[in-house]
Amino acid sequence: MIEWATGITETPCSVCTESCHPGFRKSPQEGKPACCFDCTPCPENEITNGTVDMEQCVKCPDDQYANIQQNHCLQKSVTFLAHGEPMGKMLVGTALSLTLLTAAVLGLFVKHRGTPIVKANNLALSYTLLISLTCCFLCSLLFIGRPNTATCILQQTTFAVVFTVAVSTVLAKTITVVLAFKVTAAGRKMRQLLVSGAPNFIIPICSLIQLTLCGIWMGTNPPYIDTDAHSEHGHIIIMCNKGSLTAFYCVLGYLGSLALLSFTVAFLARNLPDIFNEAKFLTFSMLVFCSVWVTFLPVYHSTKGKVMVAMEVCSILASGAGLLACIFAPKCYIILLSPERNSVYSFRHKTHFGSKSTERIF
């Protein structure tokens, strides 16, 4: 038996440092022999591919990610807001439910179109608003499912145009009421022009402006399919890139300006005679609409991936539901549960103006 100078009978190890495990790389120790080194963990998404004592880690490709042991790259899974997942099912169910509810309200208004409360709310504008709200709820379905070039373009243009129609219809309804009562006696010709349906031209004019903005957007830098391989570990997010953010904010800003104008006009009309209490409901509807989209912007920019898309869908559904509930719920209540209030006698009793004046204005 050999007795070493250290007094230890076991054969001393001639290796300064044990080999590095997978997921670690060699880091030489300054001033020491080459066999002496530290084992440093590989950075995130980098591996050592099984060869011992590698001095450099290997970065995984963008479409792959490192496993827990950091010795192998795994393929990332493609993800998007799908119809089959719980969040997608919930949003689709909500959108379809609101669509059916809006269609039911439209059918109710058509059935009771001869009653005072329906006639006093301008049939043409009410129908236009209900149809546009139906389109609003349906357009949210474009955001759910695997994106493609067509849906990326239709998402933004459809959303912008149908909501512009809805908000401009609210504006037209409110302006009709306000100007019909605020115009002085010297402006009777203007009143006759307004009563004849001139405010209805607000809808095509406002919509044409929005269509022009969308046309410029689509012609310069339209939305396109994009991928994000870095926001979620192990996933590649397929999403629609807005293209020109400036154009997107111009479209959204124009819609917001219309909503703010509608809210202002409706607020001015809140103290009109009882028969026109609709102005108060219009005020609430625009308040809800503006609140939803003011909340949407910071939340939208602080989220990523499927959550970001879900937030946009929720904002579309919430703002549309706010318009539907605030404007039409009180009228449906009277039609279905309080029919005695839906009579010419009741309207005459509640207002200083006769029913003929009411019908002439609307």
Give the CA distances from residue 341 to residues 83, 106, 360, in Å, rounded to whole numbers and listed in that order: 44, 20, 20
Burial grade of 171 (CB within 10 A; 0-12, 13-18, 19 or more): buried
| Per-residue tokens: 113 | 């179109």
Q: Are 293 and 256 in contact (CB under 8 A)?
A: yes
The span from the CA of 314 to the CA of 140, in Å, is 9
The span from the CA of 133 to the CA of 128, in Å, is 9
With the C-alpha atoms ordered 191, 192, 198, 200, is the resulting torsion angle positive or negative?
positive
How confident is the model at residue 200, as a pLDDT?
Answer: 75
How confident is the model at residue 280, as a pLDDT?
Answer: 82
| Per-residue tokens: 17 | 């440092």
The span from the CA of 206 to the CA of 170, in Å, is 12
Look up tokens 């959303």; give the residue.
159
Return per-residue pLDDT of the chain as tens, 362 residues.
Answer: 455 565 566 666 666 767 787 888 878 777 677 678 888 888 888 888 766 667 788 888 888 888 888 888 888 888 888 888 999 999 999 999 999 999 999 999 999 888 888 877 678 889 999 999 999 999 999 999 999 999 999 998 999 999 999 999 999 888 877 766 665 544 565 566 555 566 678 899 999 999 999 999 999 999 999 888 877 778 888 888 888 889 998 999 999 999 999 888 888 877 766 454 677 888 888 899 989 988 888 888 788 878 888 999 999 999 999 999 999 998 898 888 887 777 665 555 555 444 344 444 44
Q: Are 225 and 241 in contact (CB under 8 A)?
A: yes
User: What b/e string do you get for 195-212 counting C-beta neighbours within 10 Å, with b at 16 or more?
Assistant: beeebbebbeebbeebee
Q: Are 88 and 81 in contact (CB under 8 A)?
A: yes
| Per-residue tokens: 21 | 């495990």
Q: Write down the domain spans for the chain.
A: 1-75, 86-361
Look up tokens 């060869």; give the residue.
51
CATH superfamily of 86-361: Rhodopsin 7-helix transmembrane proteins (1.20.1070.10)
The span from the CA of 362 to the CA of 86, in Å, is 46
| Per-residue tokens: 237 | 């997010």
Residue among 187, 289, 312, 184 at smallest CA distance from 239: 312
The span from the CA of 142 to the CA of 146, in Å, is 10
The hierarchical CATH code for the domain 1-75 is: 2.10.50.30
| Per-residue tokens: 130 | 């209900």
How confident is the model at residue 103, as a pLDDT?
Answer: 96
How confident is the model at residue 11, as a pLDDT?
Answer: 62
How confident is the model at residue 107, as a pLDDT?
Answer: 94
User: What b/e string do you get for 86-102 counting C-beta neighbours within 10 Å, with b at 16 or more?
Assistant: eebeebbebbeebbebb
Instruction: Look at residue 1 and give its three-state secondary structure.
Output: coil
How confident is the model at residue 108, as a pLDDT?
Answer: 93
The span from the CA of 283 to the CA of 297, in Å, is 22
Q: Residue 329 contacts by C-beta under 8 Å, 6 or more apart in sequence?
A: none
Q: Count the neighbouring beta carbons within 10 Å of the beta carbon of residue 298.
A: 9
How confident is the model at residue 193, as a pLDDT?
Answer: 57
How confident is the model at residue 356, as a pLDDT?
Answer: 43
- Annotate 146-170 with three-state secondary structure: CCCHHHHHHHHHHHHHHHHHHHHHH
Let me know how long the chain is: 362
How confident is the model at residue 34, as a pLDDT?
Answer: 67
